[in-house]
Structure 1
Amino acid sequence: MYDGPLFFPVTPFGADGEVDPAVYAEHLESGIAAGPGAVFAACGTGEFHALAPDEHAVLVRTAVRVAAGRLPVFAGAGGPLPTARALARSAAEAGADGLLLMPPYLVRPPQSGLVAYTRQVAQAGGLPLIAYHRDTARLDVATAVEIARLPHVVGIKDGCGDLELLARMITAVETELRPSGKPFRFFNGLPTAEATAPAYRGIGVREYSSASFAFVPEIALAFHRALATGDEALVGRLLAAFYLPLVELRAAVPGYAVSLVKAGVRQRGRAVGGVRPPLTDPTPEHLDRLRVLVDAGLATLATLPESTDR
């Protein structure tokens, strides 16, 4: 489980603007065949924020069917509490293996409210749940410990990037759970997580979301392998050629963390359509820059020995 970059597929929309399950199945199959550690369907890169409940159900059912037990399928759940509970139940009914709990909408709740929110969604789905530490769901150390004690919660995904805080969370959670032996994981959930993966690895966080896996799985896998084997030279080359320029391009427009990924999937031949408002698709200039940096990343791989990049 999780032995590979975590795959966050995009959600394809057809010419009519509706979800296209057939294209989604093709996108999933090609990604799963490449060898990720898990699939996270209808989550951030999959435009969770822009999906109707019935569309969410179609995506999760399709992911479970295509995965066919080959690897875990986690589904996004979140938003207003009744919606989050309904999505958690729907994902369980569809056969999902777990949930990624997205932050609640708009309000910045107190820490006790985040615990109650997590507890109720976890109870509704009855599935292993990863809590997302970001935006309107920023946890302090004591809250992270309290959430980690909840029966169905199996991990925390960090989207804040405060490594000092995260290190304290990890230590406190591990100390709390050690007597029970409860398995628990922390995940790097920053956009373009490869850019920070070496730093996260330094405090013991090895799993990370790989948005790039959706459109350049060969680069994502080579980077993941290089990081795991301590090939610092290759990690540095891929950061310089691909990941750090992608971070720079991503920062050009809000929402590009999703829009660029979807554009990359389109550029590599999958008819997934554009993003739904309020996100916007990349400009022609930014699409050209995306092509250049993808070519640079692939060119870096082309210089490697066969045994290194395969």
Structure 2
Amino acid sequence: MLDGVLFFPVTPFAPDGALDPQTLDAHVRAGVEAGAGAVFAACGTGEFHALSPREHTDVVRTAVEAVNGAVPVYAGVGGALPTAVDLAVAARENGADGLLLLPPYLVNADQGGLVRYVREVAEAAGLPLIVYNRANARFGPRAAVEVAAIDHVVGFKDGVGDIETLARTVVAIRASLRDSAKPFQFFNGLPTAEVTVPAYRAIGVPLYSSAVFCFAPEISLAFHQAVTTGDDKRADALLAGFFHPLVALRDKVPGYAVSLVKAGVRLRGLDVGPVRAPLTEPTREDLDELASLLERGLELARSTSA
């Protein structure tokens, strides 16, 4: 079972555009040393969409070696069914502890088709698998219950933000598994998830992705401590002073949920390179705003922990 702050590392690229495993190794090691509860490699923040199959395998292998058994390593897989299966098998062979299943490529499918997609990947991989509910892979409560019953499926991660439907889904899955010993967890997977943590925790979804942890683990951990200890004053200060302004900046340009994070890692001194197309780099003005927000957030994390 997973716990703590879930770290979704960026994928570094060298000046020539190639994958940079050495920098990825340093990035992952730093995150684990900072206190990550698990590492999710080659996922959304890690630009899964922009990686070749070989690069994906190299990212997973590098993350596993960097972690060296300290915490679980989950690999992002998805896309076309044969691709998702191939990546899942390769992740298993290279030491991944589990998988995060992203949506299938492009197409919209009915609920039965989505359940079949999950089942085929889960059966082929044989690893603990978390289903990501987002984009063109939206599972209603009935389909989610079917998915939760599939062997190896151990979690449901929401990236849609429909609290009413998710609340019904959580209750339905828990009821369906009540007489089973199967472990199962729920995750908040919205961008900059901290801003919705209070709402998600209220419906029984305490775990969340923290993209901020990539470049400011001090801020991420300060917030996590505040919400898990019930320190609402401290959590509100971090939300108002850092996370809410960061969301406003993020929402200026599509793709900033990833490119701002990567820029933040560079601001902290690790050159992870730019994002790959079709994502774009932040403007100079937005980088300056990010730098100011980062400074403010770090100060808040220091002051609220005093």
Verify the 8 A CA contact 1:215 1:265 in the aligned structure 2. yes
Offset of residue 301 of structure 1 = 2.1
Over aligned residues, Cα RMSD in angstroms? 0.8
Structure 2 match to 1:222: 222
**Secondary structure at the residue paired with 1:196?**
helix
Offset of residue 4 of structure 1 = 1.4
Verify the 8 A CA contact 2:222 2:305 in the aligned structure 1. no
Counterparts in 2 of 1:255-294, with a 5 A limit? 255-294=255-294
- Opposite residue 49 of structure 2, the aligned amino acid is H
Counterparts in 2 of 1:155-170, with a 5 A limit? 155-170=155-170
**Secondary structure at the residue paired with 1:303?**
helix
Verify the 8 A CA contact 2:219 2:301 in the aligned structure 1. yes
2:256 and 2:305 map into 1 onto residues whose CA distance is 33
Structure 2 match to 1:109: 109
CA deviation digits over 1:105-132, x for unaligned, max 9?
1111110010110011111111000000
Task: State the identity as a percent.
Answer: 61
Counterparts in 2 of 1:33-44, with a 5 A limit? 33-44=33-44
**Secondary structure at the residue paired with 2:304?**
coil
**Secondary structure at the residue paired with 1:280?**
coil
- Opposite residue 87 of structure 1, the aligned amino acid is L
CA deviation digits over 1:107-163, x for unaligned, max 9?
111100101100111111110000000101001110000000000100010000011
Structure 1 match to 2:21: 21
**Secondary structure at the residue paired with 2:137?**
coil
Verify the 8 A CA contact 1:2 1:36 in the aligned structure 2. no
Scaled by the length of structure 2, the TM-score of the pair is 0.99
- Opposite residue 274 of structure 1, the aligned amino acid is P
**Secondary structure at the residue paired with 2:99?**
strand
- Opposite residue 285 of structure 1, the aligned amino acid is E
Offset of residue 181 of structure 1 = 2.1
1:177 and 1:45 map into 2 onto residues whose CA distance is 31
- Opposite residue 25 of structure 1, the aligned amino acid is D
Offset of residue 2 of structure 1 = 2.8
- Opposite residue 133 of structure 2, the aligned amino acid is H
Structure 2 match to 1:87: 87
1:152 and 1:298 map into 2 onto residues whose CA distance is 39
Verify the 8 A CA contact 1:8 1:210 in the aligned structure 2. yes
Structure 2 match to 1:50: 50
Structure 1 match to 2:203: 203
1:241 and 1:295 map into 2 onto residues whose CA distance is 11
Aligned length: 306
Offset of residue 266 of structure 1 = 0.5
Structure 2: which 5+ residue stretches go unaligned? Answer: none
Structure 2 match to 1:119: 119
Q: Where does structure 1 differ by over 6 angstroms across 4 or more consecutive aligned residues?
A: none
**Secondary structure at the residue paired with 2:82?**
helix
Structure 2 match to 1:9: 9
**Secondary structure at the residue paired with 2:248?**
helix
Structure 1: which 5+ residue stretches go unaligned? Answer: none
- Opposite residue 258 of structure 1, the aligned amino acid is V
CA deviation digits over 1:195-253, x for unaligned, max 9?
00011011111100000000000000000000000000000000011100010000000
Structure 2 match to 1:142: 142
- Opposite residue 44 of structure 2, the aligned amino acid is G
Counterparts in 2 of 1:68-87, with a 5 A limit? 68-87=68-87
2:305 and 2:190 map into 1 onto residues whose CA distance is 31
**Secondary structure at the residue paired with 1:167?**
helix
- Opposite residue 115 of structure 2, the aligned amino acid is V
- Opposite residue 104 of structure 2, the aligned amino acid is P
- Opposite residue 285 of structure 2, the aligned amino acid is E
1:43 and 1:218 map into 2 onto residues whose CA distance is 22
- Opposite residue 147 of structure 1, the aligned amino acid is V
1:2 and 1:151 map into 2 onto residues whose CA distance is 18
- Opposite residue 219 of structure 2, the aligned amino acid is I
2:222 and 2:304 map into 1 onto residues whose CA distance is 10
Offset of residue 182 of structure 1 = 1.2
Offset of residue 305 of structure 1 = 4.6
2:65 and 2:303 map into 1 onto residues whose CA distance is 37
Verify the 8 A CA contact 1:3 1:36 in the aligned structure 2. no
**Secondary structure at the residue paired with 1:187?**
strand
CA deviation digits over 1:17-36, x for unaligned, max 9?
00000000000000100111
CA deviation digits over 1:171-211, x for unaligned, max 9?
11000011112111110000000000011011111100000
Counterparts in 2 of 1:293-304, with a 5 A limit? 293-304=293-304
- Opposite residue 185 of structure 2, the aligned amino acid is R
Verify the 8 A CA contact 1:7 1:38 in the aligned structure 2. yes
